[in-house]
Structure 1
Amino acid sequence: MNNNFNYNASISGVGIPYDDITWYNVEGQPFGLASGFNVIVFNDANNIIDVEGAMAVGGSYYSPRGLSLGFERKNGVTDIGYSPDMVRFLVGGNVAMTGPLVVVGHVVAGGGFRAGKGSTYLIGKDNSGNQLEELKYLYQANGGSPYWTPSDKGDHYVIPSYDVPRYIPASRIDANVSQFFASARDSIESYKECIQNLPVNGTVVDNYHEWILRGNDPRQNVFLLDVRPNGLINKGIRAEVPAGSLVIVRIRSGNNAHLQYGLMGEEYRARQTLYVFEDATNIFMEVPADIWGSILAPQAKFHGHPTGGHVSGNAALDSLAVNANSGFEFHLYPFQGGLVCGEVIPEQPEQPSIPQPTCPPCPEAQPCPTPPPCPEAPPCPEAPPCPACPEVKPCPTCPEIQPCPTPPPCPVCPACPEVKPCPTCPEIQPCPTPPPCPVCPTCPEVKPCPSCPECPECPEAGTEYIGIPVPIPYPYCPEQEECQKCPDCLITPGIIFGCVWGCECCKPHEWDVMLYKICNDCETLIYCETICRYGCFKFEVPYDACYLLRVCPSANTCLSPGCKPKVTLKNIGVANFMLE
């Protein structure tokens, strides 16, 4: 068995060029041009947190948290890298996100767009003289800063959204996004119908804990897994086929398919494995499963598990629903293609027979020894080979070994103890009434200046009088000072707001953000939120109290000595506050 699955070939076709958003079929590839996307959804999708490759959503995408695309795993099987033209987040409708959107590539949407501050796109350089001006034109936004510009990071550009959300409107590049998704759906559904008509040339062995798919075709092996009427996929799936050959699994489940086992397929065969859900309209991931292989179900709504799980391959779905707290992800193991559908698979040429010399008859083969009983149903031992005559035909086959006895039934697990209900949380006291703002003093009334006396009439000619200046008191009106304006309060009372921007070790972690109210040396937990990699938190609390904010790694996080969260606090509207 060849388990060498870590190759590092660069995948240049992750996404689609922004200047040619047009659908193309690809021979032997059921996903067509969508093979450049980890997942293509023809209607709405929500709440995904991480896609290693690219994602296309024909409807709208909405999420109360952030999303990252194009960041492949450091020890993964692909190397995506920067690209000057590839769109790696394509949405036909609206985008509404509370958290930041971080993409290694371009973002195009056909409807409205809203994402959290800190959204960033990393664009590769094409070494042309006008690329920077082209990026300014593509990502210009109404209400944006006149000083906004892409940042030059040496080997790539960064599109920051520090002032207003930025993206490329489909109308700006004359892209008919709705026609792209309509053509994609027609092509993928047509290919799915063709695959459903392929003849089955492999067998399915049903064991108590797994289905073993056995085939010997060197090119492609087609299997049928019928789990109707309940649609329960409650066993593992493992293939035994020639190395490098395709594994096509046609699944008939009825309207609802229930994934109830933690493993489907094998990692080293992920790029050669395709699961075709023929009749399911809903696919429920009821355990946080690892699905190795691609999913072809353009008619089905996929329901991710509330805590996590992943699909490692391409996926074509009608819609995608994920819980707001789930860690469900898509990993980049694109289906390699080469599928033969609608044509006859060429048969292998027969080897010419070689004439054998006439040999004396073989001595009678001794019967093979009976194998010992199998403890706990291990595989039956292989019979020893029979002795062969020199330069003659092989000896006759040994008698068939009897199958091992049926293993005893598994013991019944004891009943779980009754879970006691959680204690009732203490009632949170209402926020105190803030003190009234100081009243500005009343400006004194300005009295009008007195009127000047009329000048006396000049005397007639006669005796000349010489006037002596005598000081006369004159009322002086002082200039009134302008009342000073009360300064605006820059802190919102009763709000604790901040963000976690990652870890000092530069590795992704989950963080638990917990807010405690401290009274008489007692800590009372009043809020708790979990942030994956990075995100913001906001708590509303009474002003006149003492609070402690703790930012800790989640229990399932693997830490190193250099781990320390990066935290910024944007509003501390309480009387007493501590950070730990």
Structure 2
Amino acid sequence: MDNQYYYNGAISGVGIPYDDIKWFDIEGSPFGLASGFNVIVFGDANNIVDVEGAMAVGGDFYSPRGISVGFERENGQMEIGYSPDLVRFMVGGNTTVMGPLVVVGHVVGNGSFHAAKGSTYLIGKDGMTNQKQELSYLYQANGGSKYWEPADKGNHYLISSYDVPRYIPADRIEADVTGFFRSARESVNAFKQCIQDLPVNGTITDNYHEWILRGNDPVQNVFRIDARPNGLITKGIRAEVPEGSLVIVRIVSGDHAHLQYGVMGEESKANRTLYVFEDAQHIHMEQPSDIWGSILAPQAMFHGHQTGGHVSGSVALGSFAVNANSGFEFHLYPFVGGVVCGSTAPQPPVPTVPSMPAPTPAPAQTLPTTPIPTPPVQPTPRPTPPVQPAPRPTPPVQPAPRPTPPVQPAPRPTPPVQPAPRPTPLPAPRPTPLPAPRPTPPAQTMPAMTCPECPACPETEPEIIPFPVPIPVPVPAEPIECPICPDCKECLITPGVIFGCIWGCDCSKSHEWDIKLYSVCNDCKNLLYCETISRYGCFKFEVPYNACYVLEVCPADKATMCSGCKPKVTLKNIGVANFMLC
């Protein structure tokens, strides 16, 4: 999982509403409703440790460790945020997570469910007075404590599994999860077949270490890489296409595709790049690669590299497997859509012709492949994409996707509420109001680092040699070495900022920690900040540089502590003159 600092802004669209788990297509998107997921796997998956967006697995999911879902990176493309109703972790089979499952959003399971103690889900607020009761109903579990209830954390609710594993059973919300994945697979397969029928309109230059894809279509540029018979992808991929256009790469490899290069694609074009593995049954990542772009391979098993790697884009796979020691991740660069294929494939431009009183029919089959003006009787499209109903199983006109459906009559005892998740392995640090602090010394800036001046290089004087008329002539002399300028090292510390993170406890149990920052003046401690972090998280304080500070990390509930308890703290920036940790 990325060790980044997380933020709280809320958006919709990452995940699907828990009270409307039904599949529908989205025009121009091969991922359909799965565009709301970072990754959708139709079979089994295992050992994924971090998914920045949402995740859906149609089969079983197993992990010997924990997994975080829905936490955007500091420099991520989208700010995910809390939501009252969006599902961001959904499994159609059995779920077994031996470590904590931490999700910013709802969790839905359709089979047996096991997650370690410390599993936590963060649910946004919708303003309804009965939302807490609704969440209690959704996450009630057999054998759970009678004192359990969702915790109100100010701007969100916290669903904790401190007693028994908790999740929303599919039958509790009357969701046909099996039918959802069946319809999703049929739709994605149909759109994939449609893309495979698109004509190639770009060229590929084969260089020593990369394939350069060149196209000039302002809408979409289609390329085809044939890696048969061995399926070896041994070079990088770089596209030179018009700004804003799509890059569609059709890869033909045979049953096994072997990714043997460290970088595939470019970050700047990641959300407009689509890799379609046409015939691969297995995709092997044989280097810990960075794949920038979306992957469409609903028929294939993806084998992650044993030491890690990541895919930045929307992903649809048949199944996923990776070594238990890997740190495989999926980053949220959702595919923008807008693919034109099937009956909506781009047609050759037909020039406008003046109307004629009596048009004479002309045989349509005599049209050449290049666009020419035709009588208005029967403009014939290019022979490549035949005019026919779209190959996707559902009609092209789809019900408009709704980010969060309006309040609907719900069959549950309580009124329908639309909870939505926003995963953060820790509730966002929340500053608490404090008594006015005693005055601290006036803020001063951190002493500026000055670089020594570079000594001047001595000049050479020209030697005058007598000629009939004396003329100054420079004579080559022994080279004079200029003094070496001293290096000026960059200051890596940001003044006035105290920034660090807590990564749990030595006892491996879940604790809440109180983070307190004091200023010290004349042997008096003055409390400046106080934040509470659940299990693990980061803190950041801005203070004057020229003062003395004490940072205390204490358990919020000392009754749960034991002799082996000790917080794991890392300090990433100490930009003050005097600092002490206790």
TM interval, short-chain normalised: 0.5 to 0.7
Alignment partner of 1:144 is 2:154: no
Per the alignment, do residues 173 and 63 of structure 1 end up closer, same or farther by CA in structure 2, a change over 3 Å counting? Answer: same
1:198 maps to what in 2? 198
Give the Cα–Cα distance (whole angstroms) in 1 for the partners of residues 90 and 346 of structure 2: 36
Overall identity of the aligned pairs, in %: 69
- Residue by residue over 1:59-113, the C-alpha shift from the partner in whole angstroms, topping out at 9 and shown as x without a partner, is 0111110010000002211011100000000100111111000000000000010
Amino acid at match of 1:334: P
Higher relative contact order (CA 8 A, sep 6+): 2
Alignment: residue pair count: 369
Asked if residue 560 in structure 1 is aligned to residue 572 in structure 2, the reply is yes
Q: 1:551 to 1:145 in 2, by over 3 A?
A: closer
Query: Is contact 1:41–1:319 with CA below 8 Å preserved after alignment?
Result: yes
The residue that corresponds to 1:87 in the other structure is 87
Mapping of residues 46-65 of structure 1, within 5 Å = 46-65=46-65
**2:346 counterpart residue number:** 345
1:552 and 1:240, CA in 2 relative to 1: closer, same or farther beyond 3 A? Answer: same
The answer as to whether partners of 1:35 and 1:314 remain within 8 angstroms in 2 is: yes
> Alpha carbons of 1:551 and 1:279: their partners in 2 closer, same or farther (altered >3 Å)?
farther
Q: What is the Cα deviation at residue 259 of structure 1?
A: 0.5
Q: Give the SS at the match of 2:340.
A: coil
1:346: Cα distance to partner?
4.2
Q: CA deviation at 1:12?
A: 1.5
Partner of 2:230: 230
**Alignment RMSD, CA only?**
2.6
Q: For the residues of structure 2 that align with 1:139 and 1:271, how far apart are their CA atoms?
A: 35
Aligned twin of 1:252: 252
Question: 2:160 — aligned with what?
Answer: 160
Q: CA, structure 1 residues 10+270, in 2 after alignment: closer, same or farther (shift >3 Å)?
A: farther
Counterpart residue number, 1:20:
20
Find the aligned partners of 1:234 and 1:335 in 2 and give their Cα distance.
25
* Contact map agreement 1:232 1:259 (CA 8 A) in 2: yes
Is the contact made by 2:11 and 2:82 (CA closer than 8 Å) also made in structure 1?
A: no
Aligned to 2:308: 308
Q: Secondary structure of 1:132's match?
A: helix
Change beyond 3 A, Cα 1:559–1:248:
farther
Aligned to 2:30: 30
Structure 1 residue ranges, 4+ long, deviating more than 3 angstroms after superposition: 8-11, 346-352, 496-507, 548-553
What is the alpha-carbon distance in structure 2 between the residues aligned to residue 10 and residue 209 of structure 1? 42
- SS of the aligned residue for 2:508 comes to strand
- Distance in 2 of aligned mates of 1:84 and 1:274: 31
Alignment of 1:322-471 (within 5 A): 322-342=322-342, 343-347=344-348
What is the DSSP-based 3-state SS (H/G/I as helix, E as strand, rest coil) of the residue aligned with 2:572? coil
Larger radius of gyration: 1
Paired amino acid for 2:508: G
Measure, in 1, the Cα distance between the counterparts of 2:202 and 2:352: 23
Give 1:170-181 correspondences, 5 Å limit. Answer: 170-181=170-181
Q: Identify if the C-alpha distance between structure 1 residues 155 and 219 changes in structure 2 by more than 3 Å, giving closer, same or farther.
A: same
Closer/same/farther in 2, CA of residues 549 and 139 from structure 1, 3 Å limit: closer
Q: Output the amino acid matched with 2:346.
A: I
Instruction: Return the alpha-carbon distance in structure 1 between the equivalents of residues 156 and 510 of structure 2.
Output: 25
Deviations 1:104-141 (A, max 9, x none): 00000000100010000000111012111110000000
Secondary structure, aligned partner of 2:186: helix
2:245 is matched by which residue type in structure 1?
S
Deviation of the 1:560 alpha carbon: 2.0
In 2: Cα distance, 1:238 partner to 1:213 partner:
6
Q: For residues 286 and 348 of structure 2, what CA distance do their matches in structure 1 show?
A: 41
Provide TM-score, normalisation by structure 2.
0.61
1:498 maps onto 2:499 in alignment? no
After TM superposition, give the deviation of residue 233 of structure 1 in Å. Answer: 0.5
Closer, same or farther in 2 for the Cα pair 1:147/1:38, shift >3 Å?
same
**2:572 is matched by which residue type in structure 1?**
S
Match of 1:272 in 2: 272
Q: Deviations over 1:492-528 (max 9, x none)?
A: xxxx963487667559xxxxxxxxxxxxxxxxxxxxx
1:74 aligns with 2:74: yes
Describe the shift of the 1:132–1:11 C-alpha distance in structure 2 as closer, same or farther (beyond 3 A).
closer
3-state SS of 1:251 partner: strand
Shift of 1:179: 0.3
Q: Which residue pairs with 1:208 in the alignment?
A: 208
The code of the aligned residue for 1:105 comes to G
* TM-score (norm: length of structure 1): 0.61
Conserved? CA contact 1:504–1:562, under 8 Å = no
Deviation at 1:344, TM superposition (A): 3.0
CA apart distance, 1:318 = 0.6
1:317 is matched by which residue type in structure 2?
L
